[in-house]
Structure 1
Amino acid sequence: MKRVLLCVNSDIGRGNTIGFRFGIIAHMLKQQGVEVDIIARANYDTALTVRTPWYKNYLGRALNFLHIYITPFVSYRSIEVWIFDRFVLRQLKKKGTCDYQVAHIGESLSRSMAWLKQNHVLVFLDIPIAHDAYVSSLRERGIDANTEVVASHAYIDRAISEADVLVCPSAFVVNTVQQAGFTTPYIIIPFGADKVFVSEHEESHTSDAELVFLFAGSIALRKGARYLLEAWNGFSKRSNCRLVLCGRIYKEIQPYLKKTDMARVTLVGFTRDIQAQYRAADVFVLPSLMEGSAKAVYEAMAYGLPVITTENTGSIVENGKTGYIVPIADAAAITEKLEFLYTHRERLRDMSDAAKAAVAPYTWEAYARRVVASYTATTYDTKKISTTD
């Protein structure tokens, strides 16, 4: 493997984005002596050379502003992807020759992917989150994951059809793609935690003092915030506990906040110092309805927090050892685990140590190494994956 193409409609080197992951992959390729070309929306990593469109990330910001503040029932994501796809295709054709052995695509760029395949390039498609069709399957079960928008997934389906291999962070993601009717070969590579998190552990509280349960992420239906709030209302011991919610509050959650006893609830909002919240917490709770592989879970485990989560979070949590896996949309199950950990505080120390040990191998460097190794693998998984939810 001499030359690899990385394409992503995101910002290279910017934290909490798919562009952050692609930047790490690019550095790993360079360390291994592989030439790498990068086409991305914007670049924040001065050590990398990246081709970007003239509009950079301003278009995405403008469309996101429209979605959040003006037309929340309209998704503009497919429009942005459509424009970026054409930019990438022009860049590829302008180059003249196609000397890539592998292309890793971080967005549904179906036209660019088709051109690469015509030129005998092995095309990997990054699938960082559950397939959009899963939203519809949830609604058929009476579970609303997002009241704002149900995005058309036609452009995603076209890209999956063009891919040779899917790069997925969890078995849950693969399962949703397969439920949507695809049999594309795949490889599962879990995400990781930043070294700053892994190196700054503090012991969890195990005294009889206030027990702190932490939620970090968008306070929205998709993240299971509704069911966490309902579980908190049913938690009989909450007078000696605190629930801390970090993240932007979506309008869809406001009705559930109004029904919640807020006496022992702290709304932090968006914070750039999430590390302080992890250090102050005893248990992390993220009952998401659908994710890819929630980065917050890795971070919480790196701080030694037992995690209450769902299978749909796509995490590495081992039920009963590093935390608990509860069914989605089940407030009673969450309440049961809150009660159990409150009355069995002696379990927190063992679960804390187990969480730190379990997450230790999952660094971003290890993630990038596994991704790069997958480019030259001779076989990929095709087996059917089933999940409980």
Structure 2
Amino acid sequence: MRISLVHPLKHHAYKTAYGIKKSRHELSCVLGFYNKYNLTQGFNVQSKIINRLKGYRDERIAEHVVTSDYVNLLFLLTKFNNKFYRKFLEQFEKFALEEIKKADGIYFLQDYSQNLIDFARQEEKYIIYEQIMPCGYEQRELIFNECKSLKIDASLYTNKFFSQEKIELHYKNIRSADLIINASQLSHSVAQEALGSLERKNIILPYGSNPINVRDNDIDEYVQIKYSSIKNRKLKILYVGSLSVLKGTHYLIDLIEHLKHYNIEFGIVGLPNQIQDQIFLDKINNLNNVNYYGAIPHSKISKVYKEYDIFLLPSLVEGFGMVTLEAMSYGLPCIVNENCKSVVNNGYNGFIVEKGNTSALIDILKEVMDKKECIIELSKNAIQTSQEYTWDRYSDSLAALLNITFD
């Protein structure tokens, strides 16, 4: 069976493509940009944009990539002027349309290829639809109510992420699919809501991460060194992500304000998401027990992870929260709520609380403060969890799923 993965951008599409390649089926990876043709070599200027584009390559799938010089060029132009973005998507769809005609099954990642999904259904292709971000009416109502309580305009969130049109199209795509793949239980629930009584294969396949190189027999030593002075210093808590209502930044700020007299230091990495999110940054800058780092390149964030003890993610709407796996790989137990728990196991590698419950967060941190030695065992388990949920595991699991599905 020939399976075409269709995606105009990079995202984690390469990991998915590698999973298809590992299966017993033929892979066609239809991409909007891939530097297979080395178009960037024509630029003699030193540019961060050009350097970043060098990462749009993966030798493991290179021989299966199908792309277009013209579409590639339009993508490059979007990096210098966003007005080319619509043209880029239009031309990508035209190019991809011809490619998916040759395939038996089409693998779509959420949101990017509406016309192509409609065409694939019309042609009775087998459709695999991966839901990246949970997008349903429950999420819309949740964010609307949160904004209302904060007395800020909800429309910038709802129009961008949860408009009625967007939700209905998303539900339509789910119902059009033969197989729906979700990274989390929250996404799975949204898909089930969209399906209603329709019978479809709706499964959960967690994403992965690239854990740091701590061998099994070195975990104890790594953790002991990391927390050697924990009893005699401040507890250091880290958040990494955008500053927004979706990420629950207001609950993070509320928590920090409640614990300002405790021997706790917070670190925050990230920038405001929407215009109205600037209010969160203003509040953070007025807090005394916070180190605010702004934006940090991913290549340099390891230093920050190594300086902190616990990772906190209060996100209200989260597709998976790969950042939790990243934090775990550095030995940070994760405190999350029920909407972003992903691979957090309560009491094993972190803690799970009810969403929006600041009191529960405070109680857990007070308990940790009283028994700081418990962090050591949580940290060991966190590292082991990150080593179990790797991208290689993800691709192996996807390959196995495809083999079972099409046997």
The two structures share one fold, judged by TM-score above 0.5: yes
CA–CA separation in structure 1 for the residues paired with 2:214 and 2:175: 38
Give yes or no for the alignment of 1:215 onto 2:234: no
1:45 corresponds to which residue?
Answer: 57
**Partner in structure 2 of residue 71 of structure 1:** none
Distance 2:176 2:241 in 1: 32
Q: How many residue pairs were aligned?
A: 354
Is 1:134 matched with 2:161? no
Q: Residue 386 of structure 1 aligns with which residue?
A: none
Q: 1:136 to 1:26 in 2, by over 3 A?
A: closer
Q: Distance in 2 between matches of 1:165 and 1:196?
A: 33
Letter in 1 for 2:105: V
The aligned runs of 1:245-284 (5 Å cut-off) are 245-250=268-273, 251-259=275-283, 262-272=287-297, 273-284=300-311
Q: Under a length normalisation based on structure 2, what TM-score does the superposition of the two structures give?
A: 0.77
1:187 is the counterpart of 2:222: no
Shift of 1:7: 0.6
Residue 321 (structure 2) aligns with: 294
Q: Evaluate the alpha carbon distance shift between residue 355 and residue 127 of structure 1 in structure 2; reply closer, same or farther with a 3 A threshold.
A: same
Amino acid aligned to 2:237? F
Aligned with 2:191 (options 145, 159, 177) = 177
The code of the aligned residue for 1:214 comes to L
1:149 aligned counterpart, secondary structure: helix
Q: Structure 2 CA distance, aligned partners of 1:337 and 1:208?
A: 19
Q: Which residue of 2 aligns with 1:163?
A: 177
**Bigger radius of gyration:** 2
Give the AA of the match of 2:257. Answer: N
Gaps spanning 5+ residues in structure 2: where? 35-55
Residue 107 of structure 1, CA deviation: 3.2
Amino acid aligned to 2:303: A
The reply on whether 1:227 has 2:227 as its aligned counterpart is no
**Aligned-pair distance for 1:186?**
1.0
Identity of aligned residues (%): 23
Q: Secondary structure at the match of 1:376?
A: helix
Q: Does 1:22 align with 2:36?
A: no
Say which is worse superposed, 359-368 or 156-165, in terms of deviation.
Answer: 156-165
Residues 72-116 of structure 1, C-alpha deviations (whole Å, 9 max, x = no match): xxxx999986775454224435xxxx3x34321113334323433
Are 2:356 and 1:329 equivalent residues in the alignment? yes
The residue type paired with residue 318 of structure 1 is N
Sort the Cα spacing of 1:329 and 1:104 in 2 relative to 1 into closer, same or farther, 3 A. same
Code of the residue aligned with 2:393 in structure 1: it is A
Q: Equivalents in 1 of 2:301, 2:352: separation in Å?
A: 23
Between structures 1 and 2, the one with greater helix share = 2
Calculate the aligned-residue CA RMSD, in Å.
3.1
Q: Deviations over 1:297-350 (max 9, x none)?
A: 011112111111012114111112211111212222222222222222011011
- Counterpart position of 2:120: 116
CA contact (8 A) 1:283 1:305 kept: yes
Work out the CA distance in 2 between the residues paired with 1:62 and 1:185.
41
Q: Secondary structure at the match of 1:39?
A: strand
Counterpart-to-counterpart distance in 2, 1:159 and 1:368: 23
Task: Give the Cα separation in 1 of the matches to 2:96 and 2:304.
Answer: 40
Contact kept, 8 Å, 1:249 with 1:269, in 2: the verdict is no
The residue aligned with 1:384 is: none
SS in 2 for 1:38: strand
2:23 and 2:400 in contact (8 A); partners too: no
Contact 2:260 2:289 in 1 (8 A): no
Q: Flag the 1:245–1:310 CA change in 2: closer, same or farther, 3 A.
A: same
Give the partner amino acid of 2:107. H
Give the 3-state SS of the residue equivalent to 1:360 in structure 2. helix
Residues 239-291 of structure 1: CA distance to partner in whole angstroms, max 9, x if unpaired?
x2211101123443433444455212111111121111111110000010011
Distance 1:262 1:370 in 2: 44
Where does structure 1 lack aligned partners over 5 or more consecutive residues?
12-16, 67-75, 380-389
For residues 303 and 374 of structure 1, what CA distance do their matches in structure 2 show?
30
- Say whether the 8 Å CA contact 1:124–1:167 is kept in structure 2: yes
Q: TM-score, normalised on structure 1?
A: 0.80
Specify the alignment match of 1:311 in structure 2.
338
